[in-house]
C-alpha cells in the first residue's frame, strides 16, 4: 500500500515522515505500544468504531443503538481523563448508528459532527440534531473527496456519498471513509449495499484496496458483493453485529463470499469489541489485540 499524503502535504511530509519513523524505531518519541487504535466496539446490533490516534485525538464513527452500552464500551478504551472526541461521523440516520450519540453528548465534548443525511425527518434523529445545535457543535454534511485533518500521519478521506448521485435509501448514501496510517489501510462502509459498491468500484476503484474492511450493513447478504471484494481484497473483514439479531446477520452467503476471498473474519458478537493496534507505519503493523 502507498502512503496517501497525496495532495496537500507532498515533499514536506516525506521529510518529516523519515524523522518520525526513525524516532518510532528508536522508541525515542512514543512510549505507547500503539500509535493508532481502531476499535470496533461491541454495541450489539449496530455500528460504533473508535479511531484513537496517539491516545490524544479521537474520531468516532457512529454510536450504536444504546447510549449506556456505548458509554460502557467507550469507557474501556478511551484514554483516562480524556473527555473530548474531536470528530463524530454519523454514517446515516438509522437508530442502530445514531441511537447512542444522544447520551454521548452528555458525557463527552465533541468538537465537530459530520453526518450523511441531516435532513432526515425521523423524530428521534431530529432530537439528536437539536441537541447538537443546542451545544453549538458545528455539523456538516461531507461529500466524496473531503479529507479530515487530524494528524500528520493519519489520512482520513471521505469517498462516498457523491452528492450528485444520491440513492433513494439512506443506507446506500452512508458516509464511506478510508483511513491510511503509513502502509496500513482501513475502509469503513456504514450500511451501503450493492448499488453503492458498484458505483464505488466504477468511480473510486483506486481507493478501495485495503487491509481492513468494516463489512457493510452488519453482514447483510445484499452487501459486500464479489466485485467489491475483488477490489478491496481485505486481509481482515470485521463484522459489527449483535448476537441472535432478528435480521439473521451475518448472512451465510456473505460468510461464504468472505471465506472464498481469503479474508480473516472477525465478529463483535463472537469476540467482543475488536481492538486493532498499529505500532508503526510499516506494512502489516496493525494487529488484533
Q: What share of the chain is helix, strand, coil (3-state, %, to 5)?
A: 35, 25, 40
Q: Do the beta carbons of residue 101 and residue 126 sit within 8 Å? A: no
- Contact status: 170 vs Zn ion (CB under 5 A): no
From the list 2-10, 94-102, 115-123, 199-207, the region that binds Zn ion by CB under 5 A is 94-102
Query: Which cell numbers in the block locate residue 29?
Result: 518519541
- Contact status: 66 vs Zn ion (CB under 5 A): no
- Contact status: 191 vs Zn ion (CB under 5 A): yes
Q: How far is the CB of 251 from Zn ion (least distance, A)?
A: 14
From the list 1-9, 79-87, 91-99, 238-246, the region that binds Zn ion by CB under 5 A is 91-99
Q: Compare residues 101 and 278 and give the one whose CB is closer to Zn ion.
A: 101
- Contact status: 269 vs Zn ion (CB under 5 A): no
Give the interface size with Zn ion as a residue count (CB under 5 A): 2
Q: Do the beta carbons of residue 97 and residue 62 sit within 8 Å? A: yes
Site string for Zn ion, 213-232 (x = CB under 5 A): --------------------
**Torsion angle defined by CA atoms of residues 20, 24, 29 and 31, in that order, rounded to the nearest 10 degrees:** 150
From the list 188-196, 207-215, 242-250, 252-260, the region that binds Zn ion by CB under 5 A is 188-196
Q: Compare residues 172 and 191 and give the one whose CB is closer to Zn ion.
A: 191
Q: How far apart are CA 186 and CA 49, in angstroms?
A: 12
Residue of the chain from 66, 73, 86, 96 that contacts Zn ion (CB under 5 A): 96
SS3 110: strand
Q: How far is the CB of 42 from Zn ion (least distance, A)?
A: 15
Q: How far apart are CA 190 and CA 261, in angstroms?
A: 21
Ranges assigned E (strand) in 116-153: 139-140, 147-151
From the list 25-33, 90-98, 137-145, 268-276, the region that binds Zn ion by CB under 5 A is 90-98
- Give the DSSP per-residue string, 226-240: HHHHHHH--SEEEE-
Amino acid at each position: 500500500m502507498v502512503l496517501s499524503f497525496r495532495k496537500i502535504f507532498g515533499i514536506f511530509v516525506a521529510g518529516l515522515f523519515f524523522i518520525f519513523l526513525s524516532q518510532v524505531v528508536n522508541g525515542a518519541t512514543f512510549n505507547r505500544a500503539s500509535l493508532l487504535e481502531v476499535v470496533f466496539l461491541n454495541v450489539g446490533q449496530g455500528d460504533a468504531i473508535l479511531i484513537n490516534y496517539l491516545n490524544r485525538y479521537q474520531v468516532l464513527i457512529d454510536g450504536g443503538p444504546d447510549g449506556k452500552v456505548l458509554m460502557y464500551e467507550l469507557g474501556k478504551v478511551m484514554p483516562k481523563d480524556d473527555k473530548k472526541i474531536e470528530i463524530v461521523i454519523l454514517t446515516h440516520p438509522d437508530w442502530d448508528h445514531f441511537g447512542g450519540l444522544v447520551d454521548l453528548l452528555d458525557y463527552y465534548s465533541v468538537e465537530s459532527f459530520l453526518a450523511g443525511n441531516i435532513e432526515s425527518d425521523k423524530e428521534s434523529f431530529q432530537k439528536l440534531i437539536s441537541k447538537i445545535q443546542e451545544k453549538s457543535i458545528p455539523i456538516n454534511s461531507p461529500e466524496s473527496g473531503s479529507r479530515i485533518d487530524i494528524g500528520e500521519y493519519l489520512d482520513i478521506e471521505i469517498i462516498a456519498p457523491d452528492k450528485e448521485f444520491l440513492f433513494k435509501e439512506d443506507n446506500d448514501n452512508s458516509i464511506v471513509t478510508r483511513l491510511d496510517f503509513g502502509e496500513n489501510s482501513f475502509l469503513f462502509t456504514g450500511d451501503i449495499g450493492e448499488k453503492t459498491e458498484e458505483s464505488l468500484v466504477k468511480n473510486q476503484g483506486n481507493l478501495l484496496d485495503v487491509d481492513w474492511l468494516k463489512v457493510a450493513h452488519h453482514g447483510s447478504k445484499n452487501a459486500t458483493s464479489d466485485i467489491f471484494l475483488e477490489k478491496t481484497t481485505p486481509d481482515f473483514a470485521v463484522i459489527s453485529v449483535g448476537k441472535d439479531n432478528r435480521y439473521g446477520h451475518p448472512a451465510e452467503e456473505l460468510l461464504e463470499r468472505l471465506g472464498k476471498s481469503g479474508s480473516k473474519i472477525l465478529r463483535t458478537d463472537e469476540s467482543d469489541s475488536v481492538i486493532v493496534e498499529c505500532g508503526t507505519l510499516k506494512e502489516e503493523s496493525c494487529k488484533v489485540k
